[in-house]
């Protein structure tokens, strides 16, 4: 009877260990397929000025977005906005973030819409607001 209990206890430990290994393996596998590194980021084309351009939808994260992001202006013109203009002023502290938020217009803001070379303004793109 004692041997049966030891055997059952050993089987339970083995099953528990297998479950733990499967869970850890699944989590690691999920993370490796969903964490794209900059090396796996899209290969955006470059314009004559050396700026990357394309859709931000292709980026794995904000860090891998192109410098010129495709956009449609307020009048329907297709062009590009500068990532730095789209991102706007970045806070350096929580207090800074609150000050920036409080200074924003409830109607949003307008930024320039550029051609693919990022030099000629061809329209206006509206960010934020209702």
* Residue 53, Cβ density class (10 Å: 0-12 exposed, 13-18 middle, ≥19 buried): buried
* Cβ contact 105:126 at 8 Å: no
**CA atoms of 41 and 9, how far apart (whole Å):** 49
Tens of pLDDT, residue by residue over 81-111, are: 999 999 888 889 999 889 888 888 888 889 9
Tens of pLDDT, residue by residue over 116-125, are: 999 999 999 9
- Ranking 32-36, 49-53, 58-62 by mean pLDDT, the lowest is 32-36
């Amino acid at each position: 009877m004692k041997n049966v209990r030891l055997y059952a206890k050993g089987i339970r430990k083995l099953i528990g260990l297998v479950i733990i290994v499967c869970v850890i393996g699944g989590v690691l596998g999920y993370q490796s397929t969903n964490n794209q590194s900059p090396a796996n980021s899209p290969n955006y084309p470059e314009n004559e000025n050396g700026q990357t351009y394309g859709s931000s939808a292709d980026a794995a994260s904000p860090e891998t977005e192109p410098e010129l992001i495709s956009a449609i202006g307020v009048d329907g013109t297709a062009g590009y906005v500068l990532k730095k203009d789209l991102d706007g002023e970045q806070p350096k502290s929580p207090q800074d973030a609150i000050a920036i938020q409080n200074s924003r217009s409830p109607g949003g803001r307008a930024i320039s819409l550029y051609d693919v070379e990022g030099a000629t303004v061809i329209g206006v793109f509206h960010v934020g607001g209702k």
